Structure 1
Amino acid sequence: MVTAVSPDRRRSASGSWAVWLIPVGFTLLTLIPIISGSLRLTQLAGGPELIPAAARFTDFPVPVVLHIVAGVVFSVVGAFQFIPSLRRGRRSWHRFAGRILIPAGFVVALSALWMATFSQLPPGDGPALLVIRWVFGGFMLVALALAVRALVRRRYAEHGAWTTRAYALGVAAGTQAVVLIPGSMLYGSSDETSRAVAMTLGWLINLAVAELVIRRRRRRASALHLAS
């Protein structure tokens, strides 16, 4: 005997699975920086050198440790903020996680700017990429500040838009790790121009995806408003 399943139930089941694809996808995207960051922490703690040592990390370990730890929290916990069911209710996961994510985001951005400004530049990081790091790091700080301001003013849609942009910038290292591969193969890992282009492209790709997510939310909110 075959039991028929209504189209609405099929859409609901597929939708429940689809919402989990977003956090899983973001978590997978950040696996490369999470793994490399964990290896770097092991090295700084006196463990084996599983990745090449670099003076820019060993000379100023505090901002490096802060950046890695805050980055892991920001990327992994932040991924689950995209699940609608976890954002509901006064004592929801969204509120609890937000109290962790906003400070973590500020630590990620500030430590990145500190390292870009005061640490020794690695091979391939020329003056152009330094300026680019300042631009996107500064934009992440501005996005987080505007997200906090919108939250204080109870403009929740605006708050969500700015936190989405900040998250996109904060997890761009995963995208950049992928985008850097073609340039490294063609021009070498120390080519300043190709590295600057690839890094910029990684940030822009993430911001483009963030804008698509924001527009989708706005369309859904408008549709719900018209339906009511």
Structure 2
Amino acid sequence: MIRLQKIEWAVLGLILVYSFIPAFGGLTRVLELAGGPQISPVNPRALLAPTPIILHILSSFLFCIVGALQFLPSIRQKNATGHRMIGRVIAVAGCASAVSGLWMTHFYVFSEALQGPALYWVRIVLGTAMIGLIVWAVVAIRARDIFQHSTSMLRAYAIGQGASTQAVVGIAWIIMVGSEVMGPLRDGLMIFAWILNLLVAEILIRSMLRPAKRLRGSSS
């Protein structure tokens, strides 16, 4: 049985709390589409074509929540089999999340208040990049390139967690301004959330992963 360190419990708890709003909201939507009581506002797009949004919610939930376990050294170092099994699950889930997100971005009809051209193209680029990063991570680990595997998955995870940061940014805006943001400004805040996630990912890569790479290179 794997015992997590206190810092690992803290990291896991932080990620789970951070992911709570989109995860809970998404699962609520799935229950509604499955015939449960209506809790969240009606989404006509979900009613007309529910399959992509259900797939996106469930796959994103797996990628973000189960994927959090991959950040824990106790899982990676002391349970390699578990790490590989979880990795396969989140690789498939991440690609399913990105593909369904791309489908919804292109085929769902959004008003200008919810998605303008800038947000559309950012979603297309980042969804495609997320698939590419996950595929590259799989190729890298098969070639035993742990550094490229780790950096690619971390960047893909940063993209996948975009909804969490968007929720935080959106709530902060409502608290400061008193109303929900719409239109181009909303697009800008959503894009900013992804930029912030990717910036944090790059900081983590340079502060935690690159030194380890140099150390291995100097000892060989």
Do these two structures clear the TM 0.5 threshold for a shared fold by scoring above it? yes
| 2:121 alignment partner, one of 126, 131, 153 | 131
Distance in 1 (alpha carbons) for counterparts of 2:181 and 2:73: 42
Instruction: Name the structure 1 match of 2:169.
Output: 179
Map of 1:222 onto structure 2: 214
Render the CA deviation track for 1:82-113: whole Å, top value 9, x for unaligned.
11121125743211101101000000000001
Aligned residue number for residue 104 of structure 1: 93
One-letter identity of the residue aligned with 1:71? S
Equivalent of 2:28 in 39, 64, 69 = 39
| 1:226, distance to aligned residue in structure 2 (A) | 4.9
**Deviation, structure 1 residue 39:** 1.1
Shift of 1:195: 0.8
CA deviation string 1:18-50 (max 9, x = no partner): 233222211111100011111101110111110
* Secondary structure at 1:48 match in 2: coil
Does the Cα contact within 8 Å between 1:86 and 1:92 map onto a contact in 2?
no
Superposed displacement of residue 168, structure 1: 1.0
The correspondence of residues 103-182 of structure 1 with structure 2, limited to 5 A, is 103-121=92-110, 123-182=113-172
**Of 184, 198, 202, the match for 2:193:** 202
The offset of 1:169, in angstroms, is 0.7
Q: 1:188 to 1:138 in 2, by over 3 A?
A: farther
Which whole-Å CA distance do the structure 2 matches of 1:160 and 1:182 have between them? 31
Which deviates further from its counterpart, 213-222 or 43-52?
A: 213-222
Question: Which string of whole-angstrom CA distances, capped at 9 and with x for unpartnered residues, describes residues 53-105 of structure 1?
Answer: 11111111111111111111111111010111211257432111011010000
The verdict on how the C-alpha distance between 1:227 and 1:22 changes in structure 2, with shifts beyond 3 A counting, is: farther
1:66 aligns with 2:66: no
TM-score, normalising length: structure 2: 0.88
SS at match of 2:136: helix
Which structure has the greater CA radius of gyration? 1
Q: Structure 1 residues 187 and 129, CA, compared in 2 at 3 Å: closer, same or farther?
A: farther
C-alpha change, 1:187 and 1:90, in structure 2 (3 Å) is: closer
Residue pair 1:67, 1:107 contacting (<8 A) in 2 also? yes
Structure 1 residue 17 corresponds to structure 2 residue 9: no
Between the aligned partners of 1:222 and 1:84, the Cα distance in structure 2 is 19
- Give the TM-score, by structure 1 length: 0.85
The aligned residue for residue 8 of structure 1 is: none
Aligned residues with identical type, % of pairs: 36
The count of residues paired between Structure 1 and Structure 2 equals 214
Partners of 1:124 and 1:191 within 8 A in 2 = yes
Worse-superposed segment, 41-50 or 80-89: 80-89
Do residues 51 (structure 1) and 51 (structure 2) align? Answer: no
Deviation at 1:171, TM superposition (A): 1.3
- In structure 1, what is the Cα distance between the partners aligned to 2:9 and 2:78? 19
Distance 2:67 2:166 in 1: 19
SS of the residue corresponding to residue 92 of structure 1 reads: helix
8 Å contact 1:183–1:194 — kept in the other structure?
no
1:81 maps to 70
Partner of residue 189 from structure 1, selected from 170, 180, 196? 180
Q: Which runs of 5+ in 2 are unaligned?
A: none
Deviation at 1:227, TM superposition (A): 6.9
